[in-house]
Structure 1
Amino acid sequence: MTDGTPAPAPFTAADFAVRLKRAAQAADAADLTGLLLTPGPDLLYLTGYAPVAITERITMLVVPVEGDPTMIVPKLERPDAEASSGASVFGLTDWTDGSDPYHATAGLLGPGRYALSDSAWAMHLLGLQEQLPDTSYVSMTTALPMLRAIKDDDELERLAAAGAAADEAYREILKVRFAGRSETDIGHELAQLLRGFGHSQVDFTVVGSGPNGANPHHEMGDRIIEHGDMVVLDFGGLKHGYGSDTTRTVHVGEPTDEEREVHEIVRRAQQAGFEAVRPGAECQEVDRAARAVIADAGYGEYFIHRVGHGIGLTTHEPPYMVEGERQPMQPGMCFSIEPGIYLPGRFGVRIEDIVTVTADGGRRLNRTPHEMAIVG
């Protein structure tokens, strides 16, 4: 079971060189001395290097505003760093067990203000602060929230492929029987379908049936799905290194008039959020548009989360579509639009697509119908 499409060509050293140059320019514009990247999505984005495991041993890429980027790694991991696809675009040094890694890392830095990967270990930050009292640090998301937000054509191709694979998984799951089976059973089938359609990693499979659907992050449990249940299905992961994330809400057997009404309100809210997508508009406008539909229908208190989040190398990253986020939308941004209504003790409804900003609006990367599907 596959989508039959060939894998995209891998990113090259030239791609990473462009990204590193752009990152240094962004750091300069933000009045930073440089960037400090530890294992995680930022390091992968800028170098193509993903250590086998994130451990207590420090690995750090130093990207100065002026000068060449250099990565320091544990000596035992140097061969892996040298073999990474971006190895030719950064200098490489190492440290050995038993030596002081923070003293070695400090030699790559000067006094100043640095942005540090959000995923950096506190022990590494504290070690650097002890060695370099004249430095200060700010989180990468605070300083450069848009570092990875604008996707190029190759990234958009990967995100579209991930979205299409998630759509295929949804189409297939509608063919199975829900009633009499546990949420966990359905969740495991969803995960298998995602892998079957090319996902290398499954990050989550939310299966919230009946009252469990009123908890947006319920994931799945032992509850047996019953005839008459509303079931929230929210699932995603990584394909070709980029994320998928989609939600549809199905019903086991015929729904009540109230259930149909609530589902329709959420559908209209999702559409309103999508119609608010356009270059130059603030991210918060997407949240406002979707939220207004739900509030006007009398369910405002039951919409209890932001309307969306960015997606790329991870399934949650900037930008965030939430009140107060004044970052203007730009072509190439990709994010979810996922309004919901959650009635405690009864049921929940959520509909989610990944959307990318285009030159004149938005484009959905999920194409399955928004209408409520009836399952057995």
Structure 2
Amino acid sequence: MTERYANRRSALFEELPESVGTVYVAPSETLRYLSGLSMHQSERPTLLVLSRAEGPAVVLPELETDRVADVLGDDVPFYTYGDATDPTQAAREAFERLADGRELSGDAAVEYRSTRVLEYNLLTDHHDPESIQDLEPAAAALRARKDESERESMRKAARITDHVLQETFEEIEVGWSERDVERAIEKRVIDSDADTYSGGIVTVGERTAFPHANTGHTEIERGDLVMIDFGVRVDGYFSDITRTVAVGDPGEECRQIYEVVREAARAGREAVAEGVQYQELDRAAREVVDDAGYGDYFPHRLGHGLGLEGHEPPYLVDGNEATLDVGNAFTVEPGVYVDGVGGVRVEDDVLLTEDGAEVLTETPRELRIL
């Protein structure tokens, strides 16, 4: 394992209570963050085992050893198991071999959100379930502080997203369906330097009033709003942007809604500063929407953390008294959604650097009429 990941693992224990002596990490983005290892969850349990007293070890399927060794190196002990009718029982036997050879001291920590019962049950013969703590607060605190390498990956992802979106705008026309728009985006992402298309939502006309609808087959008519929400991944790191455009004149009410949302987004971005509570960003944007009379039509938080996941802590929502720190990356995405009329969302990716707020996404925010 490289020094970068070793430093992250050491920092993780500094974030955890002293009582936690052993950490178990199932396949997840936190596993990738702490080791560089990217694995999907399957019927075969896998655990990275970290300890204050000893170096890392891995419980894993035998057929994964070559791939995992390529990332973790040969100095990390593997406790492997072969395929069996019951892979969970085979994994338990491998875990018992690990427990026989290592001191599983202190309380344990696992990430509640990513650890399945399959992995969790491996631990309970050696740790009192009452003493097993949630790893996520400590892992999230580390992951929220992006280093320069992570920042560069996110900048590149944002640049690609902007370019794809601008080119797609030039192609959209009356008669295109929501799926046509998304397909055009996907094709451009494939031809870009992004690792993958990370998914998206395209809605048209009155369906823009649904904040999180599935992309469908509704066709664009003259005067329709078109809401496009998508991102890409670069080196594992996400971008996430939303722009709402019009194909022809959308009418006075939609224009009014658009300007309210654009101003709310500006207020949210301008509130970004080190030491400011996350809830204050939400409040700054929401005040604009409330004052315009659309408060009941802004049903979601202002934004979410961004990094190895498209949605990760911290969350920009009322009640989150945590404060912004250098290295934090997140979205600012107010929206107003009026049934029978339409909706508008404007979303940007923001990074807090030593020099202040850096808005990564640069696609113009003024209403664009195609």
Normalized against structure 2, the TM-score is what?
Answer: 0.92
Which residue does 1:332 correspond to in 2?
A: 327
Structure 1 residues 206-355: aligned runs within 5 Å: 206-355=201-350
Give the structure 1 partner of residue 7 of structure 2.
Answer: 18
User: C-alpha displacement at 1:360, in angstroms?
Assistant: 4.7
Distance 2:128 2:354 in 1: 46
Indicate if the aligned counterparts of 1:213 and 1:347 stay in contact, CA closer than 8 A: yes
Give the AA of the match of 1:45. Y
1:130-188 Cα shifts (integer Å, max 9, x gaps): 45446632333345431311100000000000000000011101101331111100111
**SS at 2:218 equivalent:** coil
- Deviation string, structure 1 residues 307-334 (Cα, Å, up to 9, x no partner): 1111111111111111111221111110
Quickly say closer, same or farther: Cα 1:245–1:355, change in 2 above 3 A: same
| Equivalent residue letter for 2:241 | T
1:28 to 1:35, Cα distance in 2 relative to 1, 3 A: same
SS in 1 for 2:9: helix
Moved more, 106-115 or 297-306: 106-115
Distance 2:129 2:236 in 1: 38
> Which residue in 1 is equivalent to 2:94?
104
Corresponding residue for residue 156 of structure 1 = 151
Q: Distance in 1 between the 2:36 and 2:367 partners?
A: 41
Shift in alpha-carbon separation, 1:88–1:127, aligned structure 2, 3 A: closer
Aligned equivalent of 1:35 = 23
Structure 1 residue 271: Cα displacement: 0.7
Q: CA deviation at 1:239?
A: 1.8
- DSSP 3-state at the match of 2:143: coil
Shift of the 332–264 alpha-carbon distance from structure 1 to 2, 3 Å rule, reads: same
2:59 aligned residue: 72
Work out the number of aligned pairs and report it: 361
Equivalent pair of 1:13/1:88 in contact (CA under 8 Å): no
Preserved contact between residue 268 and residue 282 of structure 2 (Cα < 8 Å): yes
Of 41, 50, 55, which residue of structure 2 is paired with 1:63? 50
Q: Please point out which of 114, 121, 124 is paired with 1:126.
A: 121
Q: Which amino acid aligns with 1:92?
A: F
Structure 1: unaligned runs, 5 residues or longer = 1-11
Structure 2 unmatched runs, 5+: none
**Paired residues of 1:35 and 1:116 also in contact (CA < 8 A):** no
CA gap 1:361/1:25 in 2 versus in 1, 3 angstroms: same
For 1:254 and 1:176, how far apart are their aligned partners in 2?
18
- Rounded Cα–Cα distance in structure 2 between residues aligned with 1:329 and 1:22: 19
RMSD of aligned alpha carbons:
1.9
The alignment-based identity, stated in percent, is: 34
Which range moved further: 37-46 or 16-25? 16-25
- Aligned match of 1:50: 38
Cα distance in 2 between the residues matched to 1:127 and 1:71? 13
Which amino acid in structure 2 is aligned with residue 102 of structure 1?
R
Q: Which amino acid aligns with 1:38?
A: A
Instruction: Indicate the residue corresponding to 1:4 in structure 2.
Output: none
Distance 2:107 2:94 in 1: 17
Q: Provide the rounded CA distance (Å) in 2 between the counterparts of 1:141 and 1:352.
A: 26
Matched to 1:14, the amino acid is E
Compute the displacement of 1:219 (Å).
3.3
Matched with 2:169 is: 174
DSSP-derived class of the 1:178 partner:
coil
TM-score scaled by structure 1?
Answer: 0.90
